[in-house]
Homo-oligomer: A and B are copies of this chain.
């Protein structure tokens, strides 16, 4: 026996005998029967903020689409032979091919034996080698630092510097994330503070990507809607920002302004002037800026160009670049990559208070780290093959092909939809969606409301049942009262997209006739 504080030693077999002697006094035979009655966790006793969460992109319409697919596969007769999912920006599911180089490197990182395989190009091997060297034990199976692998964050910083014409970027301001959603929710979480009229309010565009409304509902924040101007290609008006902010100040504490550029679901690409104005507005009104820039390579329209908030901020001079707090988000899921399943992403934070940053770093450490394959993929996106490297030509060929096809489909979608009486579609300048406005006849609106459905949900559900096309009703993204829309991705292969658009056209005509 050693020092007095030592606990008694005990063998495995001893502890097998149970949970401690006294405790067993109401053991097997004496146990009272378990209480009956309602469950511990019921709809009435669960987290009320979770109940308020809505996420239309995977909502009831998609559940019905899954059912229909099952029914089809079971041989049930339908007026269509397949369900076409145009509800979600899931490029590979719609047939887009991955970039060969990216997948070669991921295979090499997964199974490093392949580094001896002479059929893999040397640049893929050297990228894989560099990534593995940054992993504990040279394995993607190790946890990374919670903020992300150092070398990946360095590559992200260099990418941002190139993208933004040399504006400097500190790898220490980069946090790798589990897709962009993870970073956005984390930043919103940091901003939550106050109760009642002092509760954090967050400005989001309407229409919006419903991750924002869902996260704000779950966090118990106040959602402040500012409306994009559909009549001017979904542009962002500062007067509308001001209106929304002034009204919100009466009942909450507006602290952040979220922008999605290029826009989801609306597909607009913001001009440089607009971004400057937004930054000035944020500075004047002391709002934390959140720039969702996951579609930064998805710009199709002539005369449109992607401008990052970071670049514009820094070009506005130190008066702004030293003060305005900004978080911007990127992802491996969109652009020409479309690698949604890997859940890769990063955020860059600018002008964040050092103490808050330490809290952010602590907060992300609880979840250990973002998935390492997603980090590796993010690294390849920001550090793709360079001129002179063996994979360069093929990489450029694949990337260009994907982006040109998307540009073609953006145009096709706009054109066909605008031929339909009662459908009106702004140009799809960027991103991967169109968000056309639809006329729903009064009789259909009444029937929908009778059924307790939003009129555009009624419309989309009917379209799904009759054509197999799965779209998301505009009400899931928000829209001006009395207007109706749907979101449709431009991702199906061109021939299928053409069929889909024709079916939408036919359906709309039939629907309008039926309810007129």
Q: A92-B136, A231-B8, A237-B20 are in contact. Are A50 and B371 (CB under 8 A)?
A: no
Inter-chain CA distance A182–B77, complex, in Å, is 40
Q: Select A139's contact among B48, B146, B323, B341, beta carbons within 8 Å.
A: B341
Whether a CB of chain B sits under 8 angstroms from the CB of A347 is no
Q: A139-B341, A303-B16, A352-B41 are in contact. Are A8 and B232 (CB under 8 A)?
A: yes
A366 and B19: CB pair below 8 A? no
List, in ascending order, chain B residues with CB within 8 A of A229's CB: 20
List, in ascending order, chain B residues with CB within 8 A of A139's CB: 92-93, 98, 341
A18 and B271: CB pair below 8 A? yes
**Which A122-137 residues sit within 8 Å CB-CB of chain B?**
135-137
Whether a CB of chain B sits under 8 angstroms from the CB of A498 is no
List, in ascending order, chain B residues with CB within 8 A of A429's CB: 12, 15
List, in ascending order, chain B residues with CB within 8 A of A94's CB: 136-137
A137 and B7: CB pair below 8 A? no
Q: A340-B141, A366-B215 are in contact. Are A255 and B40 (CB under 8 A)?
A: yes
List, in ascending order, chain B residues with CB within 8 A of A286's CB: 35, 37, 40
A35 and B283: CB pair below 8 A? yes
B32 and A284: CB pair below 8 A? yes
Q: A3-B422, A181-B368, A359-B46 are in contact. Are A11 and B427 (CB under 8 A)?
A: yes
B280 and A53: CB pair below 8 A? no
Task: Report the nearest B residue to A189, measured CB to CB.
Answer: B47
Inter-chain CA distance A255–B46, complex, in Å, is 11
B41 and A325: CB pair below 8 A? yes
Q: A13-B303, A339-B141 are in contact. Are A47 and B6 (CB under 8 A)?
A: no
List, in ascending order, chain B residues with CB within 8 A of A241's CB: 23
A181 and B353: CB pair below 8 A? no
Task: Report the nearest B residue to A428, measured CB to CB.
Answer: B12
A190 and B19: CB pair below 8 A? no
B239 and A23: CB pair below 8 A? yes
Whether a CB of chain B sits under 8 angstroms from the CB of A104 is yes
Contact with B along A312-350 (1 / 0, CB 8 A): 000000011001110000000000011111110000000
Task: Report the nearest B residue to A375, measured CB to CB.
Answer: B341
Whether a CB of chain B sits under 8 angstroms from the CB of A24 is yes
**Which A258-286 residues sit within 8 Å CB-CB of chain B?**
268-269, 271, 273-274, 276-278, 280, 283-284, 286
Q: Select A351's contact among B39, B114, B276, beta carbons within 8 Å.
A: B39
How distant is A242 from chain B, measured CB to nearest CB, in Å? 8
Inter-chain CA distance A366–B35, complex, in Å, is 35
Whether a CB of chain B sits under 8 angstroms from the CB of A222 is no
List, in ascending order, chain B residues with CB within 8 A of A367's CB: 178-179, 181-182, 185
Which candidate, A105-113, A160-168, A397-405, is the interface stretch facing chain B? A105-113
List, in ascending order, chain B residues with CB within 8 A of A90's CB: 136, 142-143
B365 and A58: CB pair below 8 A? yes
List, in ascending order, chain B residues with CB within 8 A of A288's CB: 40-41
Inter-chain CA distance A101–B374, complex, in Å, is 21
Whether a CB of chain B sits under 8 angstroms from the CB of A144 is yes
B352 and A369: CB pair below 8 A? no
Whether a CB of chain B sits under 8 angstroms from the CB of A481 is no
